[in-house]
Amino acid sequence: MTGLAGKVAAARTRAKEAESDADDSEVRLGELDGFIGFNLRLAQDASFRAFTRRVGETSLKPGRFAALMVIHNNPGITPGALGRAIARDKSTITPLVQALLRDGLVERRQSRTDRRSFTLRLTKAGEALRRELLAPAQAHDRKLDEIVGERKEEFLELLRRIVELLE
C-alpha cells in the first residue's frame, strides 16, 4: 500500500498506446479516466488513507471519528439519527455504536420519549479522545484545503449537490 495514489497518478499521466502486453508504466484507463464517479472514489480513498496515517493507525478510523463528532455536537442523539447524519444504515450503525460503548467512549440511556430507543452521549474518555483527534483531523483537512485552494466553497458545494441530487 506504499504510494498507491502516486502510482495511480503516474499511470494516468503516462498513459499511452500499448500494442503488446501492457506494463506498469502505460496503463490506459479509457472511459474511466473521465468518469466523475471513478475519480471521486480515488480521491476519497486517498483522503481516507491520509487521515488514517495522520491520526494514527492505532486510533479511530474516519467513520468512528465522525460518529464521535456528531454525538458530541448532538448529545442525546439516537443511533438512528446518528446513522442518517453520517450516511450509515441501521445495520452498520448498531455494531459501530456497540464498539464505541465497548471502548468506553459513549454511554447510552433510555429515551424518555420513545421506549424503543435510547440516547447517546460521549463519556469523559470519549470527549478526551475527540479533543485529541480534532487537531490532526483539522490538520488533515487543512492539507485538503491547500490542495483545493480558493475554490474550496465551490468544491464543497458540488460535493453537497451530488449528495442531494443523486438520490
Partner DNA sequence: TATTGTTATACTCTATAACTATA
Partner DNA sequence: TATAGTTATAGAGTATAACAATA
Least distance CB 128 / a second copy (angstroms): 17
* Site residues (CB under 7 A) for DNA, limited to 105-164: 111, 114-118
Beta strand pairing call for 106-110 and 118-122: antiparallel
For residue 106, which of 86, 126, 90 has the smallest C-alpha distance? 126
Residue 164 binds which entry of DNA, a second copy, none, with Cβ cut-offs from 5 to 8 Å by kind? Answer: a second copy
- The set of cell numbers assigned to 67 is 460518529
CB neighbourhood size of 126 (10 A) = 22
Can you say whether the dihedral through the CA atoms of 60, 63, 69, 70 is positive or negative?
negative
For residue 119, which of 89, 86, 75, 64 has the smallest C-alpha distance? 75
Cα 81 to Cα 10, 108, 163: the distances in Å are 42, 14, 17
Nearest to a second copy of 49, 107 (CB atom): 49
What gap in Å lies between CA 11 and CA 27, rounded to an integer? 6
Residue 108 binds to a second copy (criterion: CB under 8 A): no
Among 16, 23, 58, 116, binds a second copy (CB under 8 A): 23
CB neighbourhood size of 107 (10 A) = 17
Least distance CB 125 / DNA (angstroms): 16
Residue 167 binds to DNA (criterion: CB under 7 A): no
Among 71, 88, 100, 105, binds DNA (CB under 7 A): 88
Nearest to DNA of 75, 95 (CB atom): 95
Nearest to DNA of 53, 134 (CB atom): 53
Among 6, 56, 75, 95, binds DNA (CB under 7 A): 95
Chain residues that interact with DNA, rule: CB under 7 A: 1, 24, 45, 48-49, 52, 57, 61, 63-64, 78-81, 88-92, 94-99, 111, 114-118
